Amino acid sequence: MSAHSLLSAVVTDLQEATRERARPMAPDDRRAAMIQAVIPLLKQHGRDVSTRQIAEACGVAEGTVFRAFKDKESLISAAIETYFDPLPLRTAIAGIAADLPVEQKLGAVLRLLRERFAGVIGLMSALRMTDAPPPPAIRAAGDRWMDLLHDLLAPNLDELGVPVELVAYHLRLVAFASSIPPFNVPHRFSDDELLALVGHGVLKPQGS
- CA dist 119 and 57 (Å) reads 20
Q: List the helix and strand counts (H, then E) for the chain.
A: 11, 0
Give the pLDDT confidence of 40-69 residue by residue, as tens digits: 999 999 989 898 998 888 888 888 888 888
For residue 38, give its domain range: 24-83
Same domain, 171 and 147: yes
Task: Name the band, by pLDDT with cuts 50, 70 and 90, for residue 11.
Answer: very low
Q: Give the chain's end-to-end CA distance (angstroms, integer).
A: 77
- The b/e string for 172-197 (b: 16+ C-beta within 10 A; e otherwise) is bebbbebbeeeeeeeeeeeeeebbee
The pLDDT of residue 62? 84
Question: Of 58, 83, 108, at which residue does a domain stop?
Answer: 83
Query: Is residue 208 included in any domain, yes or no?
Result: no
* DSSP at 207: T
Give the pLDDT confidence of 116-172 residue by residue, as tens digits: 999 988 898 888 876 655 555 454 455 688 899 999 999 999 999 899 999 999 999
Q: What is the CATH number of the domain that holds 36?
A: 1.10.10.60
Distances (CA, A) of 91 to 9, 99, 118, 164: 44, 17, 18, 19
Question: Of 41, 61, 83, at which residue does a domain stop?
Answer: 83
For every residue of 8-73, DSSP letters joined together read HHHHHHHHHHHHHHHSPPPHHHHHHHHHHHHHHHHHHHGGG--HHHHHHHHTS-HHHHHHHSSSHH
For every residue of 133-148, DSSP letters joined together read PPPHHHHTTTTHHHHH
Give the pLDDT confidence of 175-186 residue by residue, as tens digits: 999 988 888 788
Query: Is residue 1 included in any domain, yes or no?
Result: no
Residue that wins the pLDDT comparison between 180 and 18: 180
Same domain, 91 and 145: yes
**pLDDT surpasses 60 at 4:** no
Q: Determine the 3-state secondary structure of 109 from DSSP.
A: helix
Task: Name the band, by pLDDT with cuts 50, 70 and 90, for residue 207.
Answer: low
The pLDDT of residue 139? 46
